[in-house]
Amino acid sequence: MPSRTNGVGVQVEETKICVVMVGLPARGKSFIAQKAQRYLQWLSIRAQVFNVGNYRRNDAPHPTADFFDMNNEEGERKRRVAAESAIADMLAWFRSGGVVGILDATNSTKERRKWVMDTCSSNGIEVLFVESKCDDEDLIMANIRDVKTTSPDYRGQDPEQAASDFRNRIKMYEKVYQTIDEGNGEDEYTYLKLMDVSKQVIINRIQDYLQSRIVYYLMNLHIRPRSIWLSRHGESLYNLDGRIGGDALISSRGEAYARKLPELVRQSVGDDRPLTVWTSTLKRTIATARFLPSHYNQLQWKALDELDSGVCDGLTYQEIKDRYPEDFAARDEDKYNYRYRGGESYRDVVIRLEPVIMELERSEDILIVTHQAVLRCIYAYFMKKDQAKSPWMNVPLHTLIKLTPRAYGTEEERYEAKIPAVSTWRGKGSTAKHENPTPESL
Amino acid sequence: MDTLLTAEIAANAPRYRRKSSTFIDGIHDVTADQDMAPAQLYSTMSGRLFHSGRIAIVMVGPPARGKTHICVSMARYLQWLGVKTRIFHLGDYRRATIGPEGTVPEDYFFPNASPSSIILRQKILKKCREDIYAWLNHENGQVAIYDAVNPTASGRRSLAKEFANHDVQTLFIESYVDDERILRENARNVKISSPDFAGMDPDKAAELYLKRIEMRIPMFETMNEKELNYIKMINAGAKFFYNNVSFNYLSHRIVFYLTNLHIKSRTTFFARAGTTAEGEDSYKSDGPLCEEGRAYAEKMAETLFKHREQEHAEKVEKGDHAPLRPLSVWTSTRLRTVQTADYIKDKGFTVRQRSQMSQINPGACEKMPERLIRQLYPDEVEKHELDPYHHRYPRAESYHDLAVRLEPIILELEREQNDLLIIAHESVLRVLYAYLMHCSTMDIPFLKFPRDEIIEIIPAAYQNEAKRIHIPGLDPRVLVSSPGFFNGTPSAASLSSMLATGTPTGNLSGHVTPNVDGLSSPPDTSVERPPEKVINTAKDMVADKVDDED
């Protein structure tokens, strides 16, 4: 049993949490697990999903429903072995510095949960159970169709037959399923129970801030269809000079992009539904958004302002290299963590963007007009880009990006305005004013 | 509109906050101005956030369940976020109606009360509800927190229906406690200061008090109404049950906040960072501490250690044998604050660096003499003087930006159970202080935290209190006030002299060099400082407000 209750003396840095998913198949467990991993990784909290199904598939790649019958000893043994290997790998991963491990499996019985709990506790790891409970038949069916018929378990099979087999598999689980409940002697556990798509929620014994943050994030998730549009500001006068930072106005080509943007957006949205527009507080994004329809709600966020380059603000890369050669080299060495003197790092930008991401998860259709570094960070969140790579990503000017979140990832579409602009992409070590992006930066 | 309430508060609160004071918690003040709140993300024409409409948060639970603490904390957080929130304690209305001489009828809370008690009850409810509607309909209020027992399911259903008829959404928050230890602790902490229990053994008094509640409120039904939106907070946050019929931004936010709230008492200390060598004190250079700065760090730490030990010894003397609470230390990632904590770190305390706590970014005007700023940006200066909290100089952060950035810190601050020392730049202390003491946005840029004082904030159910601890024997060079213009505004004193003469006077630039006459900027005597010793402790101040069955 965890002895450290409600955070006495616990520091986030010292905390290790195992998020244990609980629930019948087709309840969106994997969706929740993936989202949580992406969110935490983006915040530089080391997180990793351990999917027991993937381990089981090594042994039983295409099982039929009766494999999951609790009376099938062979099936039961193989599934137990899969769970044990997943947990063993997870513990090894915790020892190597992992912070939040997410165990994605049904964990549908009290015994199984107790075993997970005891294993984690004896290794000094806190456990947060996250149960998704849903009895809405339509929703379950939609989930079965969308996700499971594309599951590796049913690869190459007839979708109808796969769905029917999968429903039988769920029935096998239903026979033994026990929901997390204080009546089950599980009152001392830390858990989040989401019932009927978060219509009812139980939160039990949150132990520290990081757990509350995960819980809050999961409560903000929704599955209504929506998209997010991202654009940089139109080409600025500083872009033309190859200078960074500043609060310059947009060039005449940037102005042309601003005028083209409403049409580009309409083309991408496909109908007249209004978007909410978020800009930074800098002149170039506000100017870029100013021709959008007046019935769009527009908001300025300070948190969307460009990465603050401190003493280097307003300089060209050549000037930075001349004046601060060590800084120039240090930044290229570790661009994500390098903090400009008196300014910010990419890591700092991500921290200040967190409320923006929380709002984004909660909201529906949003258009964000912002800056290169900020856009890289937001893009990295949705597209799960690696921290070492995302600061080097090419985000061309005068291009509208549409992101549509789906169960297992995010779809991307790009719309080019076909208005010429300089490239602001820069390769490692380069001080060129403008250069063409290399293929791997795309 | 709210004359009754205002008059009532003025009459009942022993030390109602003076308008000029920032050292008494202003959480119960009725705001007169239309300012945006410290961390409000957007403003709208109506003054309400666009996320949600008007909301009544209705508290549910018998006395001694910590309802007042929850109401006050929640109001603090919501107002900080820019949600116009006001608390309506039904008890205030009962006292105002019955008068200081009158007594509450024995059967007041009984389901089968006598007709006269029912009429009295309805009269009181009507007054309170009229004020709630006035707040929501005519004063641009967005959230009304209705603090009452609301014991029956039928009563709650009709309340929700009535609010719905007025186009107001209802969210119930029940504080449900079945842990005897928590009940007794709550009863001991606030209730037994009532004269009824004078001279009694605290445990006995608590028990008697709880029995009395049970007798007076014989019927209480815990929430189980499927069709209502409610949060049930069980045993002071050990567990939450959340029935979310209609999706709502604010209720999620509230749950998040409540999961971090606890009811244990702990203290927050604020201290400034030490000084750097001249020329390295700018935002961008992020210089290390100079020798005086290091000496300051040591003296500050020793003063704090001594103070904590003294306080603890006093408690032990009074019979409270709880061990000294552990101390956590937070700094920003700026070199000066980190180095100021080094001495404490060497003593074995845990120090955490928080990048969100970096000082306000001064932007383009850093180290510019005021004259030059006025020359270069005359329009900006004008705007700044009109709204020093929200205005942002070119490339700078406003206090508002800083407050938004500090929000995660606020939540961790609520969660922290150890005593906490925050070492940060004055601008950060201003904003955090404003959250804990609920200051007006107009005051925040002008709050002063001289280096020779550690500020101690002691939380209490009804309101927080602030104290200052003097750090003796400091080098006068570390005492010069945080230099001016880019930090916010010129100090109030220099502003008024400016208005008088029409030209800026004094040294308001980023440099802390001595004035022409050889004096360093004198400590500003016009600023208000918190009282050295708080005579009315929070408990005494509010005894008459919480000792009865609200």
- Choose among B252, B355, B412: nearest Cβ to A219: B252
The residue-averaged pLDDT of B102-123 equals 85
- If one compares B345 and A311, the residue with the highest pLDDT of the two is B345
Chain A residues with at least one Cβ partner in B under 8 Å: 6-9, 11, 13, 198-206, 208-209, 212, 215-216, 219-220, 222, 247, 281, 297, 299, 301-303, 308, 310-311, 313, 341-343, 347-348, 351-352, 354-355, 362
A180 near B239, Cβ under 8 Å? Answer: no
Note whether B255 contacts A219, CB cutoff 8 Å.
yes
DSSP E strands: which ranges in B7-94? 55-60, 85-89
pLDDT level of residue B518 (50, 70, 90 thresholds): very low
Task: Determine which of A193, A195, A302, A363 to mutate to test the interface with B (most B C-beta atoms within 10 Å).
Answer: A302
Active site amino acids of A: 104, 233, 306
pLDDT for position B193? 56
Q: How many CB atoms lie within 10 A of CB B20?
A: 7
Which is nearest to B266 in space by CA: B101, B68, B419, B97?
A: B419
pLDDT for position B196? 65
Note whether A201 contacts B242, CB cutoff 8 Å.
yes
- Choose among A11, A203, A311: nearest Cβ to B350: A11
User: What are B404-444's pLDDT values in tens digits?
Assistant: 788 888 888 888 889 999 999 999 999 999 999 888 888 88
The residue-averaged pLDDT of B291-311 equals 95
pLDDT for position B429? 95
Residue B226 burial (CB < 10 Å; 0-12/13-18/19+)?
exposed
Instruction: Say how far apart CA B89 and CA B27 lie, in whole Å.
Output: 13
- B2-11 — which CB contacts under 8 Å span 24+ positions? B2/B30, B2/B131, B2/B134, B2/B135, B2/B139, B4/B93, B4/B96, B4/B127, B4/B131, B5/B30, B5/B88, B5/B92, B5/B93, B5/B131, B6/B30, B7/B96, B8/B92, B8/B93, B8/B95, B8/B96, B9/B92, B11/B96
- Choose among A13, A199, A202: nearest Cβ to B240: A202
pLDDT for position B190? 63
Q: Give the relative orientation of helices A209-220 and B249-260 as an angle to the nearest 10 degrees.
A: 170
pLDDT for position B285? 78
pLDDT level of residue A17 (50, 70, 90 thresholds): very high
User: What are A324-375's pLDDT values in tens digits?
Assistant: 998 899 999 999 988 887 678 898 898 788 878 888 887 889 999 999 999 9
C-alpha dist (Å) from residue A66 to A60, A74, A75, A109, A156: 12, 11, 8, 18, 19
Instruction: Say how far apart CA B476 and CA B473 lie, in whole Å.
Output: 9
- Pick the range with the lowest mean pLDDT from B101-105, B135-139, B170-174: B101-105
Chain A residue numbers touching B350 (CB-CB < 8 A): 11
Q: Has residue B486 got a pLDDT over 70?
A: no
pLDDT for position B269? 97
The nearest CA of chain B is from the CA of A340 a distance in Å of 9
| Residue B2 dihedral angles phi and psi, to the nearest 5° | -110, 30
Q: Terminus-to-terminus CA distance in chain B, angstroms?
A: 23
Position A211, amino acid: Q
DSSP E strands: which ranges in A110-265? 126-133, 190-195, 200-204, 228-232
Chain B residue numbers touching A7 (CB-CB < 8 A): 415-417
pLDDT for position B64? 84
A385 near A410, Cβ under 8 Å? Answer: no
Mean pLDDT, all residues of chain A: 88
A173 near A108, Cβ under 8 Å? Answer: yes
- Choose among A13, A215, A297: nearest Cβ to B259: A215
Q: Has residue B539 got a pLDDT over 60?
A: no
pLDDT for position B512? 31
pLDDT for position B217? 83
pLDDT level of residue A401 (50, 70, 90 thresholds): very high
Query: Which residue of A lies nearest to B282 if distances are taken between CA atoms?
Result: A342
The residue-averaged pLDDT of B164-184 equals 91
Query: Which residue of A lies nearest to B283 if distances are taken between CA atoms?
Result: A342
**Adjacent-strand bridge partners of A243:** A316
pLDDT for position B308? 95
pTM score: 0.77
pLDDT for position B36? 57
pLDDT for position A369? 97
pLDDT for position A117? 96
C-alpha dist (Å) from residue A58 to A61, A73, B60: 6, 18, 54
The residue-averaged pLDDT of A232-261 equals 96
pLDDT for position A203? 93
The percentage of chain B sitting over the pLDDT mark of 90, rounded to a whole number, equals 30
Note whether B241 contacts A201, CB cutoff 8 Å.
yes
pLDDT for position B320? 73
The residue-averaged pLDDT of A210-238 equals 90
Count chain A–chain B contacts defined by CB atoms under 8 A.
105
Mean pLDDT, all residues of chain B: 77
Q: Has residue A76 got a pLDDT over 60?
A: yes
Instruction: Say how far apart CA B213 and CA B210 lie, in whole Å.
Output: 5
- Pick the range with the lowest mean pLDDT from A145-154, B263-272, B369-378: A145-154
User: What are A157-180's pLDDT values in tens digits?
Assistant: 888 888 888 888 899 999 999 999
B83 near B250, Cβ under 8 Å? Answer: yes
Instruction: Say how far apart CA A128 and CA A239 lie, in whole Å.
Output: 48
Q: Where is mean pLDDT largest: B436-440, B477-481, B515-519?
A: B436-440
Q: Token pair of B69, please?
A: 């603490």
The percentage of chain A sitting over the pLDDT mark of 90, rounded to a whole number, equals 54
3-class state of residue B100 by DSSP: coil
- Choose among A297, A303, A347: nearest Cβ to B404: A303
The residue-averaged pLDDT of B215-235 equals 91
A331 near A339, Cβ under 8 Å? Answer: no
Q: Give the relative orientation of helices B90-98 and B115-138 as an angle to the nearest 10 degrees.
A: 120
Position B433, amino acid: Y
Q: Token pair of B484, please?
A: 């001016």
Cα angle A227, A233, A238; round to 5: 155
User: What are A128-144's pLDDT values in tens digits?
Assistant: 999 999 888 887 887 77
Instruction: Say how far apart CA A195 and CA A134 lie, in whole Å.
Output: 6
Active site amino acids of B: 147
Q: Has residue B14 got a pLDDT over 60?
A: no
User: Which residues have CB under 8 Å from B256's CB, separation 6+?
Assistant: A212, A215, A216, A219, B411
Alpha carbon B119 to its chain centroid, in Å, reads 37
B281 near B268, Cβ under 8 Å? Answer: no
pLDDT level of residue B41 (50, 70, 90 thresholds): low
The residue-averaged pLDDT of B198-205 equals 75
User: What are A101-131's pLDDT values in tens digits?
Assistant: 999 999 999 999 999 999 999 999 999 999 9
pLDDT for position B130? 92
pLDDT for position B231? 94
Q: Has residue B544 got a pLDDT over 50?
A: no
Q: Token pair of B301, please?
A: 């730490």
pLDDT for position A8? 29
Q: Token pair of A56, please?
A: 């089981």
Q: Where is mean pLDDT largest: A182-186, B529-533, B545-549?
A: A182-186
Instruction: Say how far apart CA A311 and CA A25 lie, in whole Å.
Output: 54
Position B107, amino acid: D
User: What are A286-308's pLDDT values in tens digits?
Assistant: 999 999 998 898 888 878 999 98
pLDDT level of residue B541 (50, 70, 90 thresholds): very low
Note whether A8 contacts B418, CB cutoff 8 Å.
yes
Instruction: Say how far apart CA A330 and CA A319 lie, in whole Å.
Output: 15
Alpha carbon B539 to its chain centroid, in Å, reads 16
- If one compares B5 and A176, the residue with the highest pLDDT of the two is A176
pLDDT for position B39? 61
**Adjacent-strand bridge partners of A126:** A17
pLDDT level of residue B513 (50, 70, 90 thresholds): very low
C-alpha dist (Å) from residue B88 to B84, B436, B531: 13, 20, 29
pLDDT for position A442? 67
Q: Has residue A149 got a pLDDT over 70?
A: no
Q: Has residue B509 got a pLDDT over 70?
A: no
Full DSSP string of B448-477: ---TTEEEEEE--SS--EEEEEE--S--GG
Give the CA-trace dihedral at B346, B352, B355, B358, to 10 degrees.
-60
Give the CA-trace dihedral at A146, A148, A154, A156, to 10 degrees.
10
Q: Has residue B550 got a pLDDT over 80?
A: no
**ipTM here:** 0.73
- Using the CB atoms, write b or e for A368-397: b if 16+ within 10 Å: bbbbbbbbbbbbbbbbebebeebbbbbbbb
Note whether A206 contacts B259, CB cutoff 8 Å.
yes
Note whether B286 contacts A342, CB cutoff 8 Å.
yes
The nearest CA of chain A is from the CA of B241 a distance in Å of 4
User: Which residues have CB under 8 Å from A351's CB, separation 6+?
Assistant: A43, B355, B356
pLDDT for position A72? 86
- DSSP secondary-structure letter at B365? G
A322 near A339, Cβ under 8 Å? Answer: no
